[in-house]
Chain A
Amino acid sequence: MVNGLFLLVRSYKLKKLNVFYIGIAHIFIVLGFLGNLIFSLSLLFEEAFVSFGFFFVGLFTYTTFHKNREVSAKYILLLIIILLVIHYIFQIIFFINPGSIIHLISKIFDIISTFSVFGWMGFSSFFAYKRIKDENVKDWIKFRYKLISLSALILSVQAVPELFMRYDVEYGDPANLGTLIIFGFTLIFSLIFSIGFLIAWIFPKHIKKD
């Protein structure tokens, strides 16, 4: 949330729409999780906000790394939107009529869409870093590329453990050890991403001046 607000303020000051996208993405994702896990506003509420957040992450990747040079990037963005919509539809079906097959299909789409969103960001940042690593670019900027790449790639596999979760057990239920372990893994992946992303964007000014 801190990161999201910081990026929103910076986007206003710098008049950069892509920074707004990544800021609002953070806010949406956090609100989604808070809404469901703390305020019990249902899984559909969480998935809607998280899906919008993921869409904005994709939009950030597209506008920051690809917009003016690759036509194919538009199709990747389109693919991400389609995957997120399909996943959400399966979540609605699961909400109305829970079952193991729907749960499994929904989780598979969750894994593919999460990997597409964050894998795309991670690889985009990695290849952009490779292009500038031998150039006369400040070290903190190179570090930012590496950190964004690493944390996004870690988060891209965040949904995989959820595939092994039973459909009739509540996510993170302390009474079910398996679900609790899966929840723990997801939490660790998310925390690594959040901390990595926070460090990547919030550099002290004195480091930037070096």
Chain B
Amino acid sequence: MEIIKFLADKLANRIGMSPVAARGLIKLSIKDKFGPFKPIEQLTYGDLDLMIEESLKKRLEEIEIENLEEIIRYLKTELSENQSLITMGAV
């Protein structure tokens, strides 16, 4: 799903992680929040927003990322501004 790749690139750039690792982190956060059976293509804006706010934040906390609140805010803004990617990249 393009929006996940997009958010992962943003996160990677912000915390100095590789884009592939950041994508893995986001995918794991999705599984934490919605379980392993929810198809990624069916995730909505609300699902992704919740994932960033809760499970991704928790995982970033665990690996002791600095400026956590700022990064979460940044990711949520990027998601909001580019929400059309959820549809444009999925259909």
Contacts and interface: CB of A to CB of B under 8 A. Distances in A.
A69 B5 contact: no
B53 interface: no
B45 A14 contact: no
If over half of B's interface residues share one DSSP class (helix, strand or loop), that class is named, otherwise mixed; here it is: helix
A16 interface: yes
A45 to B, nearest CB: 30
B17 to A, nearest CB: 15
A146 to B, nearest CB: 11
Nearest to A66: B83
A97 interface: no
Interface string A45-81: 0000000000000000000110111000000000000
Nearest to A208: B89
Q: Is the interface of A mostly helix, strand, loop or mixed?
A: helix
A144 B89 CA distance: 9
Contact of B45 (A19, A68, A135, A145): A68
Interface string A125-153: 10010011001111001001100000000
Nearest to B10: A135
Interface residues of A, number: 25
The 7 closest A-B pairs by CB, nearest first: A69-B80, A128-B84, A15-B42, A65-B84, A64-B87, A64-B84, A141-B89
Interface of A: 7, 10, 14-16, 18-19, 64-65, 67-69, 124-125, 128, 131-132, 135-138, 141, 144-145, 201
Interface of B: 2, 5-6, 9, 19, 41-42, 44-45, 49, 80-91
27 contacts: A10-B91, A14-B42, A14-B90, A15-B42, A16-B87, A16-B90, A16-B91, A19-B87, A64-B83, A64-B84, A65-B83, A65-B84, A67-B45, A68-B80, A69-B81, A125-B84, A128-B82, A128-B84, A131-B81, A132-B6, A136-B9, A136-B19, A137-B2, A141-B85, A141-B88, A145-B84, A145-B88
